[in-house]
Chain A
Amino acid sequence: MSWLSRVVRPKIQAVLRKRDTGDSLWHKCDACNQMIFHRELSDNLNVCPGCGHHMRIAPKERFDSLFDEAQYETLPTPQVAADPLKFRDQKKYPERLREARHKTGREEAMSVARGKIDALPVTIAIQDFAFMGGSMGMAVGESLVMAAERAVKDQTPLIVFTAAGGARMQEGMLSLMQMARGTIAVQMLRESALPYIVVLTDPTTGGVTASYGMLGDIHIAEPNALIGFAGQRVIEQTIREQLPEGFQRAELLQSQGMVDMVVHRREIRPTLSRILQMLMYDRLQKNPATALPRPAALTQADDMPA
């Protein structure tokens, strides 16, 4: 590359990029290449209306689609030690965190909220692949523990939407320990006999699958979601064979007995509602008063004079 193209090319690229995002009223489906009008895509929860391909969806849009009247209280992201290893690869870890925060507008890779599904109070945690690949650092583990503690306190089910490449290497062993800490969070619900439902979204691999991702009372997966322990490249390098069609995809995992059902994104809310009403039936019968506390934020909003 000549010095001229080196100088000129980035500028052209910048212009092109700007135009790309400037009028991104149209979105191309990753699977069928169909152009979809952005409003139509978001109305359809980022599922291609043409081929049904499930594209990624941000936590806020997901929460909006799950809770009654899109009303919920978001819990603050718990504070954790910042960069305890002083980790540096090609970039410093705090720099990568800053970039992820800037890109997503979110503080960390797990968001937790409480609200209701068909009047039943629930706690929901959503892992965010856009934030450093959803990687399971201390903040993710701590959010999960917080969500579980809150669910136990409020006596609500906990629903976790998983999405992650796996561990957050920049936190070293502190990241690996989140597999144990996430598992303790699950045990808190078990011991309180509260439902713990996992919704596996694309992609969920590594330490997340090998801990709280595979410990649900019920496992729901989104269509075609990649779900597994080892990464596909690692497997290919180890066995030196091509992987079979549909390997580690939701539908295959269902046939192998690892997930209960593969559910279209639009159907997840009614599915959760149906399941939770039944799992919570006995508890609600015995003690309807304490089993249905109203989340504080909603109570305030509801009670506000119009």
Chain B
Amino acid sequence: MAKGLPKSFKKSLWVFHCNSGSCNGCDIEIIAALCPRYDVERFGIKLVGTPRHADALLVTGPVTRQQAERVKLVNEQMPDPKVVIAIGNCGNTGDVFYESYNLVGPIQDVLPVDIHVIGCPPRPENIIHAVAKAWTKLETLEGK
């Protein structure tokens, strides 16, 4: 667990997953993190179907032109306080697609990103670690 996480949390952390043009690699690793081997649901981390219920947003993939607006919309629909986690190299830097004409750019050009997870795709452990970090941030934000 991340450093600085209090012993008792105010609430469980619900995440929303949004694909902004990824290759699926990161997405399956997110699902893998939810499945029995890693089973993050035991910590109360749950994937929800709508951004309006979510505390954290997981964005995967470089942002393609068509998806940029949608990603922004999803982010707007999330209630505050929230954290945005960019998962995967291509969401953080563009990765192999960096020069493509159809990309608006890395996620941080579209949204304020709080946590970057590097890897192509990152291992489920890394994703879980990022979510735990997000939790720390949320708890501090809410404590204020």
Q: Note whether A and B form a binding pair.
A: no
